[in-house]
Structure 1
Amino acid sequence: MTRQTQAGARHGEPDGTACESVVAGSAGSAGSAGSGLTAAEVAERVARGEVNNVPVRSSRSTAEIVRSNVFTRFNAIIAALWAVALFVTPFQDTLFGWVILANAGIGIFQELRAKKTLEGLAVIGESRPTVRRDGRSSLISTHEVVLDDVIELGQGDRIVVDGDVIEADGLEIDESLLTGEADPVLKKPGDKVMSGSFVVAGSGAFTATRVGREAYAAQLAEEASRFTLVHSELRSGISRILKYVTWMMVPTSIALVVLHLFTLRLPVKESVAKMIAGIVPMIPEGLVLLTSVAFAIGVVRLGRKQCLVQELPAIETLARVDVVCLDKTGTLTEGTMSLKELRPLGTARASEIRQVLAALGKTEPRPNPSLQALIAACPDSGAWHCTQSLPFSSARKYSGASLDGPDGTASTWLLGAPDVLLPPTDPAFLDAADLSAQGLRVLLLARTSRHLDDARVTEDLRPAALVVLEQTLRPDAGETLRYFAEQGVAAKVISGDNADSVGAVAAKLGLPGADAPVDARTLPAGTKDMAETLEQRAVFGRVTPQQKRDMVSALQSRGHTVAMTGDGVNDVLALKDADIGVSMGSGSEATRAVAQIVLLNNSFASLPSVVAEGRRVIGNITRVATLFLTKTAYSVLLAILVSLWQIPIPFLPRHLTLLATLTIGIPAFVLALAPNTERAAPHFTQRVLRYALPAGLLAGTATFVTYLLARDHYDGPGAVEAQTSVTTLALFIITMWVLAIVARPYTWWRIGLLVAMAAGFVVVLVVPWLQEYFQLKLVGTVMPWTAVGIAVATAAVIEVTWRWAGRKVQN
């Protein structure tokens, strides 16, 4: 029994006459293989472990999450210092360790929460192959496939295990994701298929010969579907910064140890406290944590909107996109169609045309939306029988069949694009163009005197009818296109449909440039010339799958970050090559497999949410990274200066814990999770260092000057506490100004955050028991006001420097 007749039997349809494929020959099976395994045979293979049990993970394991949040180089340094502090210093000077412990707990909790969300969505979006067991077809999970299972294939299906073809009805397999060869491979019974490839045309079935880790693409598939926190500009930039910090921290830490223990010969407890106070602030301990938390919360937020993020950096990459390429069908329009009009041509009769269309609809076991509309509108009378078929291909733009009519007369029919099958001078061509210009989809039904296997089958056609289909626009598509336009993201509609039809649809949605659609068959082949046209135009029709891929490459050659959306098998190559691939949840298994983001709700309107989430992450992490690295810069500078002057560092750990909490810790956590619609900018590392280094160096210099003046001003009992207090005051004012700059543009809650942090420091200075707890008490008026003056002057210089750096970045 062929694939087609089995599909018919499954839906309660009569088998009819088997329709032979013109491409791959008759579909057949050997012995009982076509009926599949029995339940007992499946159980036997499961018991032997011959199951496709590759652990396809959509997220990091719990152990990896804990390890990445706890066992880091900087956490190890802090833990060692904390252990010493717990035994040597007062409790107030051990607060830094408890803060780090709490931060790590928050990070683990948020990532586990994201893991649960992501894995729940992955179950919804996973591939479900159709297998034959006990003579019946059913959908199962990928990991339930066993050795020797018979797996059915249709257009858009992804091949999940290796196997041997036993049935082929025009079966064409794209193996480009494995071999790099773009041309589909025709498969016949006996040919091998590899996991990771997908069906572009026709149908068939194969027997699983290698499952689990033995399958060709098992390792690739496992790695490609992992939820990862690496390989992004943001993550690599932070790693580079941490490397710089390590280089600076090692020599300055050694200098502090030598200074306090051997040069100044301070008591052990005081030396340890001073050394810890100098070393701990150098470590941007919360930066990696907050990045992980920001990404994890982004996954949870998008998960609530039914967006499956298969690779975490996709959030970041989409935020950097400046060109989004859209397929019309399924993206701008609903996936379904309806028959609007059947326009007979010449002497053709409408009743005969409907019977032929019904027979053509039966030739495809998995009809596309166009054929589904024809099947629904043209009931099958059983008068016409298929003897040979040519499956639809997005490269050919037509399908065909040889039919035996009610009187036994054989005839060959083609159904496809009028502008592909007809010359421009044909009256039907002009009628089709007029209908396409109204945004309708038009197919031509034509009779040919040639055989389907004739390379010139499209010649000598006799047009029989124009089949006019109506597509429903997605109600949210226009608003989404307007969002992209407002955000400076260029939208390019790239479709295999008639250019005028695509242009009309885009015009209804208000897309700029829709009035000048381009027929892709006229596009230049060279990347440079194609890129020039793509820059100037917005709508392209009659685009082949290979052209979609070339167009993505051409846009990338101009420095664009390109996103590609699609749901059909003809979009796979372009989705794979784009910087970010976005698939609809109802799309083919192949598109879902290669896309980084899957819109499970099939709503194009979800894309702005993903863009906004990426911009929130990038913009906010840039802000908080500036805060952390400003602290690192002034801490390193202070350590160097006190070592050169051979004086003790002015702070105890409790002072810097207080400062870090009020000017970095709490504000950074709030800012990292706040809304942010700023467009993502490249060169993360350079941008952060351009702001943080000057601010940190100025803050360190001003703090040290204040400290020197305080040492000269105060003497006698309580002098050290007075010196520390005014120095802490100066550093707090300066770092608060850095926070005030980073928090821009101001909103009510940002202003409230700044006021709350400043009030917190004032409370410490005025409440007696807090003064004693933190050893902070301002003495006199001259030196405190001097510290305020130095801090205000430094803040002004930082403001000027910041504005200058901002102009340099923009230029």
Structure 2
Amino acid sequence: MTERARTDVEQSGPGGEPARRAAGEPVNPGLTAAEVAERVARGEVNDVPVRSSRSVAEIVRANVFTRFNAIIGVLFVIILVVGPIQDGLFGFVIVANTGIGIVQELRAKKTLDKLAVIGEARPTVRRDGAIDEIPTSAVVLDDVLELGPGDKVIVDGEVLESDSLEIDESLLTGEADPVVKKPGEQVMSGSFVVAGGGAFTATKVGRQAYAAQLAEEASRFTLVHSELRTGISQILKYVTWMMIPTAIGLILSHLLTLGLPGDEAIRRMVAGIVPMIPEGLVLLTSVAFAIGVIRLGHKKCLVQELPAIEGLARVDVVCLDKTGTLTEGGMDVQGLRTLDGDEDYLRQVLGALGESDPRPNASLQAVIEAYPADGGWRCVQSLPFSSARKYSGASFNGPDGESSTWLLGAPDVLLPAGDQRLTETDALNAQGLRVLLLARATRELDDPEVTRDVRPAALVVLEQRLRPDAPDTLRYFEEQGVRAKVLSGDNAVSVGAVAGKLGLPGADDPVDARALPGERDAMAAEIEAGAVFGRVTPQQKRDMVAALQARRHTVAMTGDGVNDVLALKDADIGVAMGSGSEATRAVAQIVLLNNSFAALPSVVAEGRRVIGNITRVATLFLTKTVYSVLLAILVACWQIPYPYLPRHLTLLSTLTIGVPAFFLALAPNKERARPHFVRRVMRYAIPSGLIAGAAAFATYLLARSYYTGPDALPAETSAATLTLFLTAIWVLAIIARPYTWWRIALVLAMGLAFLIVLATPWLQTFFALRLVGTTMPWVAVAIAVLAAVLLELTWRWVGRRFPA
């Protein structure tokens, strides 16, 4: 139990407690233990499961019951009927691959579930006169829940207490303006607190709550809605439609035209269909994502949506909130510069302001630590800090009985433009210091124009703590071609000075967001040109993200406060700090549980590894698909038997695609992610597949004219298999570049494995491979060499003609 949880309600309550206790108002003690037990027994519990991953049943079902497993399964059963078992090896490969996929995703699920428990929000409830932090699922009907800035409303309820409580319901209604909530008014789950505090009574829990009804159809963990997976699905759809007419054409050709026996015709048809299916491509994509989740989990990164790994790798603009991202959460008061009044008196005022807010932000917490309250001031009314207002305030009855109203906030908001005191403020901001103005108001606190005609009393100078890892992270983004932009609610000059100390390019020319144009295109031009923006309101952050997206930028947004929620939600990728508000963690796709900004490069690198490697192996798989389709068409046109048996293509696929692809998909890869996945893969796969298929078919035709007799077909098949293997292994050698020792060893090992098959008698018999004579095998090798030369020339030409 936390220190706060051990504190009695009478000693520490929600926003407004000091004023309420002073006025003698009662504090609702919440439910008793017996009442909680009674509601649990009735099932009136917030039993909506917090899911960070798919269930075990869903993982098994997603990996087993696929379109292509069904096709492969049917073909496997057919081969089992007609035999021999050697031609059904592809079925066992699918079983092994599916098992690998399930195991890896279960490992990812275990990692995600552990991290989700760490990052799960724990609402604060009152029970038996004390407050406690409990799991979300332990909230029951009629519980009294406390709220403060950044807290998410987890169940529907009715406001019980309000101290300037402002709720943002934009995630539910689309309306960006916060709503002031008073006792008796309703709050909906899914909304969050932007200012003030209070408490509410739970009136709907579990699946009856508004947000639960909206979320019932969705799950955080998903393997869809990414360019990578969408592109693969598109490719597989086309392959499916090609297989059906090809299968019909092959079986009819072998049965009716060539007069082959039924079992032989079926084997040849299966041999023509199976290699068209890039079944391992889907598996490797899932495995690569799952292993990415595990790797990031070890670095305390909770990936709430798998495509976020891919998405952040495609990001070309990252928008950073200064506080909590470039700087650490805490601040220190460097000094107090009086403008009007006695310094000791002003210190008492600051202490009273700190005591008036039970949920202070980082700036006010620094003031509290520097100027503790002396207890002689009675808070009558308080106005908590809001990112939109840029100030907070309170009305007091002082120790001498005098009533006064004080404001504490941004000097350039509380003072009129051109005020001479802003000159000193700007000088301090230029040093990277944060400055707050303490001013006495001449109007009531609830007056909309309370900031008019204020009397400045003092400047509170705060020093921000820079994150030691921030410079290296910013340098990484610069090296990777990702533009970093700081969007902060603080003074632009101060933010620019901080960013300059961290080495951010363009930090010496900060922009005040209040001067930005409202029109989207004009705003986008300003944002693209600048690097540091100050005095950005929450709605402006959202508009700035949208403006960048309108310019076809892929935008990531990082943040930890409620003022970042709207922008985090709309950005392509939202990244929240684990110590940030519950609302930011709820809408972000990635949560940095250890609050380390330095973890972002790891996420980017992981995404680039996945995308780059899947693009590599996809080219391997689809080269096989292309040459399989070409061979089927050529065989049908020439009215000759299909050159291969299923066992031949299983051997070729295993050595030139299956085993190498598994290693290549998990290898390090720092290539920058590029769009148009399908186009980039097919521009190499189509010519490679055509060359490989044409070379194999040419060898087959020459072997048919060279070999004669009833046993000619096995010799012809063996020669064609040799050419196809050598051509396919050269495609692998090209894709494995740039070479490292293990990549070279991988290619050589696959070649050695094929030689072992050719040289081992029982393997020759098992795979029906036997090279007859010396002339035709060397012809097969010569054709493969010619094909390799064509592959090299084609890849270089394609690279120049169709650059990525």
TM range (shorter): over 0.9
Return the match for 1:97 from 82, 91, 96: 91
The separation in 2 between residues aligned to 1:649 and 1:586, in whole angstroms, is: 63
Q: 1:392 aligns to what SS in structure 2?
A: coil
CA contact (8 A) 1:436 1:442 kept: yes
Aligned match of 2:599:
606
Aligned match of 2:12:
10
The separation in 2 between residues aligned to 1:267 and 1:520, in whole angstroms, is: 79
Rate the CA distance shift 1:217–1:809 in 2: closer, same or farther, 3 A: farther
Query: 1:40-439 counterparts in 2 under 5 A?
Result: 40-223=34-217, 225-346=219-340, 348-439=341-432
Q: 1:35 aligns to what SS in structure 2?
A: coil
CA contact (8 A) 1:691 1:802 kept: yes
- Once the two structures are superposed, residues 498-528 of structure 1 have per-residue CA deviations (whole angstroms, 9 ceiling, x without a partner) of 1111001100111000000011111111111
How many angstroms does 1:178 deviate by?
0.4
CA contact (8 A) 2:16 2:162 kept: no
Query: 1:654-669 counterparts in 2 under 5 A?
Result: 654-669=647-662
The separation in 1 between residues aligned to 2:787 and 2:115, in whole angstroms, is: 51
Return the match for 2:571 from 569, 578, 582: 578
CA contact (8 A) 1:56 1:225 kept: no
Aligned match of 2:502:
509
Aligned match of 1:766:
759
Q: 1:666 aligns to what SS in structure 2?
A: helix
How many angstroms does 1:153 deviate by?
0.5
Q: 2:615 aligns to what SS in structure 1?
A: helix
What TM-score, normalized by structure 2, do the two folds share? 0.97
Question: Which amino acid is the alignment partner of residue 712 of structure 2?
Answer: A
What TM-score, normalized by structure 1, do the two folds share? 0.96
CA contact (8 A) 2:160 2:183 kept: yes
Instruction: Work out the number of aligned pairs and report it.
Output: 799
For the pair 1:556 / 2:549, whether they are aligned, the reply is: yes
Rate the CA distance shift 1:131–1:359 in 2: closer, same or farther, 3 A: same
For the pair 1:566 / 2:559, whether they are aligned, the reply is: yes
The separation in 2 between residues aligned to 1:423 and 1:165, in whole angstroms, is: 37
For the pair 1:464 / 2:479, whether they are aligned, the reply is: no
Rate the CA distance shift 1:529–1:6 in 2: closer, same or farther, 3 A: farther
Q: 2:351 aligns to what SS in structure 1?
A: helix
The separation in 2 between residues aligned to 1:119 and 1:563, in whole angstroms, is: 24
How many angstroms does 1:88 deviate by?
2.7
Structure 1: runs of 5 or more not aligned: 21-25
Rate the CA distance shift 1:516–1:12 in 2: closer, same or farther, 3 A: closer
How many angstroms does 1:254 deviate by?
1.0
How many angstroms does 1:318 deviate by?
0.6
The percent of aligned pairs where both chains have the same amino acid is 72
The separation in 2 between residues aligned to 1:27 and 1:53, in whole angstroms, is: 37
How many angstroms does 1:691 deviate by?
1.5
Between 590-599 and 363-372, the greater mean CA deviation after superposition: 363-372
The separation in 2 between residues aligned to 1:12 and 1:530, in whole angstroms, is: 40
Question: Which amino acid is the alignment partner of residue 740 of structure 1?
Answer: A
CA contact (8 A) 1:175 1:184 kept: yes
Question: Which amino acid is the alignment partner of residue 84 of structure 1?
Answer: I
Aligned match of 1:739:
732
Aligned match of 1:624:
617
Between 617-626 and 262-271, the greater mean CA deviation after superposition: 262-271
The separation in 1 between residues aligned to 2:60 and 2:439, in whole angstroms, is: 65
Question: Which amino acid is the alignment partner of residue 9 of structure 1?
Answer: Q
CA contact (8 A) 1:154 1:199 kept: yes
The separation in 2 between residues aligned to 1:729 and 1:211, in whole angstroms, is: 67
How many angstroms does 1:655 deviate by?
1.0
Rate the CA distance shift 1:460–1:761 in 2: closer, same or farther, 3 A: same
Between 619-628 and 11-20, the greater mean CA deviation after superposition: 11-20
CA contact (8 A) 2:141 2:203 kept: yes
CA contact (8 A) 1:327 1:565 kept: yes
Question: Which amino acid is the alignment partner of residue 756 of structure 1?
Answer: A
CA contact (8 A) 2:723 2:784 kept: yes
The separation in 2 between residues aligned to 1:127 and 1:220, in whole angstroms, is: 19
- Once the two structures are superposed, residues 552-572 of structure 1 have per-residue CA deviations (whole angstroms, 9 ceiling, x without a partner) of 011111110000000000000
The separation in 1 between residues aligned to 2:116 and 2:386, in whole angstroms, is: 30
Q: Which runs of 4+ in 1 moved over 4 A?
A: 5-8, 11-17, 26-29, 222-225
How many angstroms does 1:412 deviate by?
1.0
Q: 2:747 aligns to what SS in structure 1?
A: helix
The separation in 1 between residues aligned to 2:776 and 2:615, in whole angstroms, is: 36
The separation in 1 between residues aligned to 2:76 and 2:104, in whole angstroms, is: 25
Between 442-451 and 479-488, the greater mean CA deviation after superposition: 442-451
Aligned match of 1:647:
640
The separation in 2 between residues aligned to 1:399 and 1:54, in whole angstroms, is: 37
Aligned match of 1:589:
582
CA contact (8 A) 1:480 1:605 kept: yes
Query: 1:769-808 counterparts in 2 under 5 A?
Result: 769-808=762-801
Rate the CA distance shift 1:28–1:6 in 2: closer, same or farther, 3 A: farther
Q: 2:426 aligns to what SS in structure 1?
A: helix
Aligned match of 1:683:
676
Aligned match of 2:524:
531
- Once the two structures are superposed, residues 251-292 of structure 1 have per-residue CA deviations (whole angstroms, 9 ceiling, x without a partner) of 001111112233323234323322221111111111111111
CA contact (8 A) 2:301 2:599 kept: yes
Question: Which amino acid is the alignment partner of residue 12 of structure 2?
Answer: R
Q: 1:18 aligns to what SS in structure 2?
A: helix
Q: 1:9 aligns to what SS in structure 2?
A: coil
Rate the CA distance shift 1:78–1:746 in 2: closer, same or farther, 3 A: same
How many angstroms does 1:382 deviate by?
0.8
Q: 1:810 aligns to what SS in structure 2?
A: coil
Aligned match of 1:23:
none
The separation in 2 between residues aligned to 1:7 and 1:562, in whole angstroms, is: 44
The separation in 1 between residues aligned to 2:332 and 2:135, in whole angstroms, is: 32
Question: Which amino acid is the alignment partner of residue 567 of structure 1?
Answer: D
